[in-house]
Structure 1
């Protein structure tokens, strides 16, 4: 008879550390009058981003079977709440991304997402810093994150400007550093290859890093702006600690027509790549005219707990990983 290990993948101490973190987060937002909300996990529309794969679920409504999607983020319904006058809101919830497993990934994970109307990205960085100094106090004491642009990170490590680099220059740089992978003529794929292998692993070891001003092609649902050098960049930042990406923040794009254009462009690329074309969330687009100017951020709770617990593998902070649940 086969022996089955029923026990959790993490120690009980990690479960206690998670409970403590949730209490800290809820107190943090309560003191700032940020409302905790809850939104549906299943939706009739899914994310169109070609780099994200939604988990599909079949359910019956009115006797008819329909394909719905488990959320990759609570972003769309939370924005509908913002457009309905909710004010500042946050949510701690489960999110799902198909076929994501490994040292830093699990297809089901926990996300903290919050939105602050009329808050700039720089002010949001200060708020994130305040939260880090509560959650990470027992490991690091006080942290003082630095701001570092995507462009400067590439220039310091690879001596190229990713905003201006041609496909050939990115290919040549990849070969120069030993990344001999054929990605065809996908310029962004080469940029991501260089970033994930040569830039990201070095970020956030002396102090947490807010990586800012991404290439405009990586704007996703963020606005774009002109940087100090006169170049177009995405108005967003990511948080890194010890080479680990913990959070992704946007100066939120609220133009419905521009958003629709991005969704349609994503789906065109999906079709080209042979991926599932996703239904567009018309409820979200209908909400945009009433959406306030705001900044929003999604933070990976499990990865933050990895930092708190000084763990190298996600399984060490999860009760059960996808392969044993």
Structure 2
């Protein structure tokens, strides 16, 4: 959102203030709901040895200087995930946090280099919370709508009913509904077949360069699928609005933090939640297989090295903690600023940030 006035200009602040006050009310309502469910609010430190190991996320590096004149590389975290899972390993069973997080090279209507991640986890031995965490996600959308007194949301030309029941689809279902492609045929035995996916994508005019991987082609396919999912009858209410889409069962080899599904280990217990075409949340049935997580994160960093000529270290302390998390732990990260945007009708993330970074 460009303006020739700074955010602290009285008139510009007055224009933004209703959305900012709504932000506070939504946060307070969500906090009350979590506390009523028995969750404990935690605070994750932002200075970390590893900012996260997703291929395409770019972190802010810094250095920690010690009194003895030694110095080591550190980062601002891109997510509170590693810290939260260490607390789960320590014995916490229901936690949430509104965490300021930092991602470099991200700026636009839906992106800011510093933003708020609402992250929460459920963990008790002998329980499986994967479905519960999906229900939580929908409830948070409802709370935001109830707080502002409006469930009819809109993003660009897409109308959305925040009160409508979820639509649920798996990734293979979404792709096969929109395109003549069976994504599982391109993962025989759990090993991605790059050429098979390239041929399938070419049939719907999605091209693949020779140096693009299975994951690159899959990402192109998903961008198109996510753009078009509102065309599907299951997504649209009788009033012609979209409903929340819970898109689950992502390819396991692209989901290093998620447990493979027992029914088909080519897929993993991972979901994303979409509202009016906007990705709001990303959740997992969390893996406690430390070696599997290590292998997956190392592969992400190999890909980062290939694409961007850089890599971030693995957090060995985190990997030790992963093995101590209960089986059945589930967690979710939700873009709180995006939720506020939808609830208030904002068209740019800067409208719902108290002190946005000037462009």
- TM-score, length of structure 1 as denominator length: 0.90
Q: Of the candidates 92, 115, 121, which is equivalent to residue 115 of structure 1?
A: 121
Structure 1 distance, partners of 2:74, 2:133, is: 33
> What is the aligned partner in structure 1 of residue 247 from structure 2?
211
Q: Of the candidates 73, 95, 100, which is equivalent to residue 101 of structure 2?
A: 95
Contact 1:104 1:314 in 2 (8 A): yes
Q: Which moved more, 1:214-223 or 1:269-278?
A: 269-278
Structure 2 distance, partners of 1:210, 1:264, is: 28
- Indicate yes or no: 2:25 matched with 1:20: yes
Unaligned 5+ residue runs, structure 2?
A: 152-161, 187-192, 236-240
SS in 2 for 1:164: helix
CA distance change for structure 1 residues 7 and 277 in 2, over 3 Å: closer, same or farther?
closer
1:172 Cα deviation from its structure 2 partner: 4.9
Cα deviation 1:204-244 (Å, max 9, x = unaligned) = 652101001011122131111144xx462011111000000
Cα deviation 1:183-202 (Å, max 9, x = unaligned) = 63312111111211233453
Cα deviation 1:153-183 (Å, max 9, x = unaligned) = 1111112122323544544555555545636
Q: Which moved more, 1:195-204 or 1:52-61?
A: 195-204
Contact 1:151 1:163 in 2 (8 A): yes
Structure 2 distance, partners of 1:306, 1:4, is: 22
Q: Of the candidates 137, 148, 155, which is equivalent to residue 128 of structure 1?
A: 137
SS in 1 for 2:323: helix
* Aligned 1:6-155 pairs, distance under 5 A: 6-7=6-7, 11-62=16-67, 63-117=69-123, 118-137=127-146, 138-140=149-151, 142-155=163-176
Contact 1:154 1:199 in 2 (8 A): no
- Indicate yes or no: 2:344 matched with 1:303: no
Structure 2 distance, partners of 1:193, 1:215, is: 15
1:317 Cα deviation from its structure 2 partner: 2.2
> What is the aligned partner in structure 2 of residue 316 from structure 1?
351
Cα deviation 1:9-33 (Å, max 9, x = unaligned) = 7711110111011101110111011
Structure 2 distance, partners of 1:218, 1:209, is: 20
Contact 1:121 1:251 in 2 (8 A): yes
1:150 Cα deviation from its structure 2 partner: 0.7
Unaligned 5+ residue runs, structure 1?
A: none
Q: Which moved more, 1:22-31 or 1:7-16?
A: 7-16
* Aligned 1:215-254 pairs, distance under 5 A: 215-227=251-263, 230=264, 232-254=266-288
Structure 2 distance, partners of 1:296, 1:200, is: 26
Structure 2 distance, partners of 1:153, 1:17, is: 34
Give the count of matched residue pairs. 320
SS in 2 for 1:67: strand
Structure 2 distance, partners of 1:322, 1:173, is: 42
Contact 1:236 1:249 in 2 (8 A): yes
Contact 1:201 1:244 in 2 (8 A): no
Cα deviation 1:112-162 (Å, max 9, x = unaligned) = 000001342112222222222221232226331121111111111112122
- Indicate yes or no: 2:307 matched with 1:273: yes
Superposed CA RMSD in Å reads 2.3
Structure 2 distance, partners of 1:323, 1:142, is: 35
Cα deviation 1:95-118 (Å, max 9, x = unaligned) = 111111122211211100000013
Structure 2 distance, partners of 1:269, 1:98, is: 18
Structure 2 distance, partners of 1:280, 1:175, is: 36
